[in-house]
Amino acid sequence: MQEDIEYIKKLVTERLRAMSPDVSFSIGSYGDFTRDELIMEVDKNSEIGKAVIEMQLTFIRKMPQLLSKV
């Protein structure tokens, strides 16, 4: 199970690294974050990091549906 969590964290981190470092993200009531700040939050497994992981996993799961509409 721990391997799965580490794999997911790495997947999310790599997806974030693929984005421009100049991008800013608004994470609900937590505020605005840079790409690198979000990567640090994911690495720390903080509440914000967990929210980012959930958002990314939701997007990945919905991707086939989104692509079928193109």
- Considering only residues 10 and 64, tell me which one the structure prediction assigns the higher pLDDT: 10
Question: For residue range 20-58, what is the model confidence (pLDDT) as tens digits?
Answer: 999 999 998 999 999 999 999 999 999 999 999 999 999
What is the value of pTM for the model shown?
A: 0.85
**Model confidence band, residue 66 (pLDDT cutoffs 50, 70, 90):** confident
- Considering only residues 35 and 65, tell me which one the structure prediction assigns the higher pLDDT: 35
Total number of domains in the chain: 1
Q: Give the Cβ contact number of residue 39 at 10 Å.
A: 21
How far is the C-alpha of 45 from the C-alpha of 52, rounded, in Å? 10
Helix (H) or strand (E) holding 42: helix 35-44
**What are the tokens at 1?**
């199970």
pLDDT of residue 13: 98
Note down the domain range covering 27: 2-68
Q: Is the separation of the CB atoms in 15 and 56 below 8 Å?
A: yes
